[in-house]
Amino acid sequence: PRPLTVRHSTSTSVSEMSRQMQEARQAMAENEEANMVMQALRGANTNENDFQDGDVRMQVVEMRAGEKGLPTTYQPEALAEYFGQRPGAVLSRVVQVATTSAGYLVGLAWDAARGRLVEAEVERAAQLRKTIVSLGPFFIKLGQALSIRPDILSPRAMVELQQLCDKVPSFPSDLAFATICDELGIASVSEAFSEITPEPVAAASLGQVYRATLRESGDIVAVKVQRPFVLETVSLDLYLFRQLGEFLRTFGPPALVERLDVVALLDEFASRFYGELDYVVECENGIRVKEDMKNLPRVLIPGNYPKWTTRRVHVAEW
């Protein structure tokens, strides 16, 4: 009968429309995730604020001996010997890392237990970024590396960690100026710079930058100052992760050990990381690049000032 035919047709039409709407929503979600991944890979998610996470304190390792006895190039055997004699510093850092990351890990486990991993993804990604910043330079570098790995992280997590490539909390300027004086062998920063901004104009995982004027020439320069206790903290973190890698190499699942050599990967990463800790190397590289590209009229490479550059202070053209 005709009425039955109408009802059946209407039901089919509504069902088909519902299916199409679901497919459209799914396509939109997939496109959004793809867009987020591409934005992260292009570095489009960096924040325009001068500094991020001003309420987050970056934790470092402060040892009585300071940098004394620590190698300034990556030498795993020397690090093992150095920290093998300092169990107190090792234990302190392990506790520091555990307590700092506990909040994120507990929250993640609670989300998983309630089946809310997807709903809480944005909140947990932001918490992960703040946790990484709190743990210091080594973890920030790992976060930066992960921020361009869509095969490991979700698009939302990539977007959040991309901000680690931009700016991180600064440290007090009085410490920075004290570092400048110690490194350059001067009593006051005014001996080297006729003007210098009272606060940094930018901050990154290893140091922060001030805009200054060289007293002897009047040149406008960028003065990069390394964070206090960076070498100690990075060295200890590398030592701990290498110990973990050695443990996994010996006792880890065979399938994992065959596919992934954590120690070899860490050694490759660490050797390059240590190069970033020495600003003299950065200055020399800058001079070499400027010389190599001097015949390219449309390429401008900032000049460097080796006279005012040390391992922890780098002065370059603004």
Residue 17 makes CB contacts below 8 A (sequence gap 6+) with: none
Start-end of H helices in the chain = 2-41, 76-84, 87-113, 121-135, 137-146, 155-161, 173-184, 230-251, 254-259, 262-277, 279-292
3 state SS of 314: strand
Q: Angle, nearest 10°, between helix axes 121-135 and 87-113?
A: 180
Torsion of CA 256, 258, 262, 266, to 10 degrees: -150
Token pair of 153, please? 């992280």
Three-class HEC string of 194-243: EEECCCCCEECCCEEEEEEEECCCCCEEEEEEECCCHHHHHHHHHHHHHH
Whole-number pLDDT of residue 148:
84
- The confidence score (pLDDT) of residue 144 equals 86
Amino acid of residue 311: R
Q: What is the mean pLDDT of each run of 10 residues along the chain (318 residues)?
A: 49 68 64 54 50 68 77 92 92 93 92 86 86 92 84 79 79 95 96 96 92 96 95 94 90 81 89 91 94 88 95 96
CA dist 315 and 42 (Å) reads: 29
Residue in 201, 214, 140, 203 with CA at minimum distance from that of residue 169? 203
Which candidate, 105, 102, 104, 82, places its Cα nearest to that of 94? 102
Distance CA 235, CA 93 (A): 11
Question: Residue 6: its pLDDT value, please?
Answer: 46
- The secondary structure of residue 59, as a DSSP letter, is P
What is the rounded CA–CA span in Å between residue 294 and residue 307?
21
